[in-house]
Structure 1
Amino acid sequence: MIEYPRLTADLVVLTIRDDRLKVLLVVRGRQPFKGRLALPGGFLEHGESLEETAARELFEETGLDADRLHLKPTGIYSDPERDPRSRVITVSYLAIAPNLEMPSPGDEILSTDWYEVDDDLYMNLAFDHARILEDALEQARALLEQTSIGTTFCKEPFTISELRRVYEIIMDIQWNQGNFQNKVLGIEGFLEYSGEKGSKGPGRPGKLYRAGPVRKLNGLMKRPKTAGTLVEG
């Protein structure tokens, strides 16, 4: 008898909270992997597209509304052993956005929260969700290289130091302050000076900026291959 695979959608939702990169996770309330951390997601229902499945599961499991997020498909995972219940193929979706609210657990979810992305977290995820998270995070970093999405994490007007911290958190690097400033100011249309100065900490007030009209950076913010590297230029 032919076993036809079932389809699911899983979501990797990333944000910055408390100066840390965090991912939205749920604690599963049923088997398999009951009590384990997992990405939000679930099975395709009749009459749905996978994008609609992703949006529905996000709301049902965490209470977050996908309408304010841009869900980007990031991968297809089809290992025959990835789900102990049956043959399941999943499509993963990535969303990265600032200032996302606290989630609330839905039915069959014990709890849901924002978890800091670190090595220990990868060891505790159900199914193959560690691989899905790792792949999506690489795509999030590529978006910072290729687009101006980093500015959306800063409340306008913002300092260049605030923007630099966004890149450091998501890319897992340290960026030389002066070289970062020269780089972002050297990209035409990336930032626009607001005409104001300000400071959110000790030290001299710095110039305040807004996001410019340019959306594609074409790799001009490329990071090194080794995490934690001090970027000099």
Structure 2
Amino acid sequence: MDKRLIPNISVDAVVFGFDDFHLNILLVTRPVYHEGKNYIDWKFPGDLIRKDEDLDVSAERILYEQTGLQKIYLKQLKAFGDTNRLKRQPRDMTWLYAIDHPEERVITIPYFGLVNLSEDVDYKTSLNGNARWFPVDEVKDLPLAFDHRDIFTFALETLRNELRNQPLAFELLPPKFTLSQLQRIYEVVFEKKLDKRNFRKKIAGLRYIVPLHEKETEVSHRPAQLYMFSKDIYQKLHTRQFDFTI
């Protein structure tokens, strides 16, 4: 094992991407040979941290090394430290032997990431060979390594909670967006259809969603007006009691 690494602390990156139609999750393959058979498990990009790195730096480095993504929104979630988190299934133990410390207890600190896939084409297509986007609703059918299903469930619930109280939806949108795009994010994440009239009435009262003197271009339908999120206005208006629920 690389002597620069700490054998019992890791970070994982749980990155959600929105492509105008689906909420996606970024996973990497984890080939495993166990008891004479080859398996392909999926996991979040993650690895042990280095002794000379802050956690945030480790998360950014590991995400870039394993997927090619960089300079995206990342926020620390919480620590996962169940004593059996790496031993949920026998073949998970092969990873512990690979790092030369099968006896170590590894605690992981997942990071929650958001990225827009509709305009940031590189984020969608220029991934490393073992990284892939999956629609969130397909994750239930994938073999996930370790306790990554628990981490996924917690991260998705965190996304829903934070969309109710913070303007994180705009991390999933291009800088200029339509109200239909914004509405679709909430419908996809919360898995429910929203009334268009009520949604737009709510949006009309949010001063930090600023209408632009621009419309969509190169579309087959009637071009819709474009809007932008003003962080400056939001920060001036934001209070602890602020409710972003749609």
Q: What TM-score results when the alignment is normalised by the length of structure 1?
A: 0.79
Q: Which residue of 2 aligns with 1:226?
A: none
Q: Which residue of 1 aligns with 2:111?
A: 93
Counterpart amino acid of residue 115 in structure 1:
F
Instruction: Give runs of aligned pairs for residues 80-229 of structure 1, distance below 5 A.
Output: 80-84=83-87, 85=96, 86-99=104-117, 100-102=123-125, 103-105=127-129, 111-118=130-137, 120-121=139-140, 123-187=142-206, 189-198=207-216, 200-202=219-221, 205-212=223-230, 213-214=233-234, 216=238, 220-222=243-245
Q: d(CA) in 2 for partners of 1:71 and 1:151?
A: 14
Offset of 1:164 from its aligned partner? 0.5
Question: Structure 1 residues 201, 184: CA separation in 2 closer, same or farther (over 3 Å shift)?
Answer: farther
Structure with more relative contact order (C-alpha pairs < 8 Å, separation 6 or more)? 2
Offset of 1:159 from its aligned partner? 2.3
Q: Which residue of 2 aligns with 1:44?
A: 49
Determine which structure has the larger helix proportion and give its number.
Answer: 2
Once the two structures are superposed, residues 101-155 of structure 1 have per-residue CA deviations (whole angstroms, 9 ceiling, x without a partner) of 33113xxxxx211011116536521111011011111212222222223234333
Higher mean C-alpha deviation, range 87-96 or range 147-156:
147-156
Unaligned 5+ runs, structure 2? 1-5, 88-95, 97-103, 118-122
Unaligned 5+ runs, structure 1? 106-110, 224-233
Contact 1:184 1:190 in 2 (8 A): no
Q: Which residue of 2 aligns with 1:14?
A: 16
Q: d(CA) in 2 for partners of 1:219 and 1:170?
A: 20
Contact 1:9 1:42 in 2 (8 A): yes
Aligned Cα RMSD in Å? 2.7
Contact 1:145 1:219 in 2 (8 A): no
Q: Which residue of 2 aligns with 1:58?
A: 63
Q: Which residue of 2 aligns with 1:108?
A: none
Counterpart amino acid of residue 20 in structure 1:
H
What is the aligned residue count?
Answer: 211
Contact 1:25 1:39 in 2 (8 A): yes
Question: Structure 1 vs Structure 2: percent identity of aligned residues?
Answer: 29
Q: d(CA) in 2 for partners of 1:116 and 1:195?
A: 34
Q: What is the SS of the residue equivalent to 1:166?
A: helix
Q: What is the SS of the residue equivalent to 1:36?
A: strand
Once the two structures are superposed, residues 16-52 of structure 1 have per-residue CA deviations (whole angstroms, 9 ceiling, x without a partner) of 1361111110001356895200000011222122222
